Amino acid sequence: MKEILLEVNNVKKYFPLKKGVFSKQLGYVKAVDDVSFSIFKGETFGLVGESGCGKSTLSRVIMRLTDADSGEIKFDNIDLLNLKGEQLRKQRGKFQMVFQKPFESLNPRRTVGQIIGAPFEIHGAAAGADKEKRVKRLLELVGLSPQYINRYPHEFSGGQRQRIGIARAIALNPKLVVCDEAVSALDVSIQSQILNLLDDLQKEFGLTYLFISHNLSIVKHMSNRIAVMYLGSIVEIADAEELYANARHPYTKALLSAIPMPDPDFNKERIILSGDVPSPVNPPTGCRFCTRCKDVMPICSEVAPEFIELSDKHAVACHLFTNASAEIQQQQPVLLNRG
């Protein structure tokens, strides 16, 4: 049996929408709405979806950089949402984050040595010559010269800055590293180097990754399992190979059809979604995807689908795979086509 490191249960995060001088509340932006999944120790769990679907908000909630409104986040059997102050600070060294924009996540007024050494100071793990020795070792691990220890972030390229961010993230030997679009701001030629570095570090230190990206090709390359997110909710979870070979949710199929193929002679059906992504302020009732789905049924706009386990490697939240929808299809076999 695989051991669960992180368990996210029914997590919600709504942002109040206000307007005017008196900040009259008009509603809520439902950025993360009832999200649940688990991550096993030593695996890379991919999270994909369109921009604005709530991926980054979810990552910040997991890291406790943003407070959840409700739900449960169990890390190593400890509910992080119940921790405050010193209790939370002691746990922070066990889960770290690599941010999307390396220049913005590094303090421009501090040297590389100070940036990477900060975790040691904050958690009392090392000081003085011992801290400097560890910082130099971390620079070597991420492919940078120890001689760079007194340089500032502006003296490095984008790829080098991200290596510094990775060195800071692994300084305290964390169990979980959240990579939030960690390579999306980098040149394509540099992306592969950073991905290979993350892979090497995982093998060497037994790291567990939550890898967030909108690039489906990169997620497939990096992940053991993948969750697909749409408008604040998870719609499908499966092993990487299973998802790409046998996607079941209509939204996942549309995403995969958009991946460029290296073979120009390979004819792949392109699924074009109708309409725009609904507003997270007023999402559709029932299934969030019902307004754009070509296989939509009457029940889709009335009842939110529950997750159905198709196998031990695949689960999907879609009425096409529930008993209730099967009964409706017998009564009304012609699907409403909005594609």
User: Is residue 280 in some structural domain?
Assistant: yes
User: Is residue 150 in some structural domain?
Assistant: no
Query: Furthest-apart CA pair in the chain: how many Å?
Result: 76
CB 68, CB 268: distance < 8 Å: no
User: Is residue 73 in some structural domain?
Assistant: yes
Identity of the residue numbered 90: K
User: Is residue 233 in some structural domain?
Assistant: yes
**The pLDDT value given to residue 323:** 58
Cα 5 versus chain centre, distance:
15
In this predicted structure, the answer to whether residue 163 has a pLDDT above a threshold of 80 is yes
Identity of the residue numbered 193: Q
User: Is residue 101 in some structural domain?
Assistant: no
Q: Containing domain of residue 36, as a range?
A: 4-94+174-331
Confidence of residue 140 (pLDDT cuts 50, 70, 90): very high
In tens, the pLDDT along 108-123 reads: 999 999 999 999 999 9
In this predicted structure, the answer to whether residue 317 has a pLDDT above a threshold of 50 is yes
**The pLDDT value given to residue 35:** 95
Residue with tokens 């230190």: 205
**The pLDDT value given to residue 263:** 58
The total of other beta-carbon atoms located within 10 Å of residue 247's CB is: 21
CB 180, CB 97: distance < 8 Å: yes
Residue 300: CATH number of its domain: 3.40.50.300
Sequence-distant (6+) residues with CB within 8 A of 228 are 48, 49, 234, 235, 236, 237, 243, 249, 251, 252, 255
**The pLDDT value given to residue 267:** 56
Confidence of residue 324 (pLDDT cuts 50, 70, 90): very low
Task: Write down the H helix ranges in 111-210.
Answer: 112-122, 128-141, 158-169, 188-205
Gap between the Cα atoms of 59 and 64, Å rounded: 9
**The pLDDT value given to residue 337:** 38
**Rounded (10°) CA dihedral 278, 280, 286, 291:** 0
User: Is residue 315 in some structural domain?
Assistant: yes
For residue 154, what is the DSSP state?
Answer: G
User: Is residue 111 in some structural domain?
Assistant: no
Of 227, 232, 210, residue with least CA distance to 15: 232
* More confident: 13 or 127: 13
Tokens of 188: 């394509």
**Rounded (10°) CA dihedral 126, 129, 130, 131:** 50
Confidence of residue 260 (pLDDT cuts 50, 70, 90): confident
Mean pLDDT confidence for 210-217: 91
Gap between the Cα atoms of 4 and 42, Å rounded: 10
CB 251, CB 289: distance < 8 Å: yes
User: Is residue 39 in some structural domain?
Assistant: yes
The chain-wide mean pLDDT, for the chain, equals 89
Tokens of 279: 């507003």
In the chain, how many domains are there? Answer: 1
Tokens of 52: 């604005």
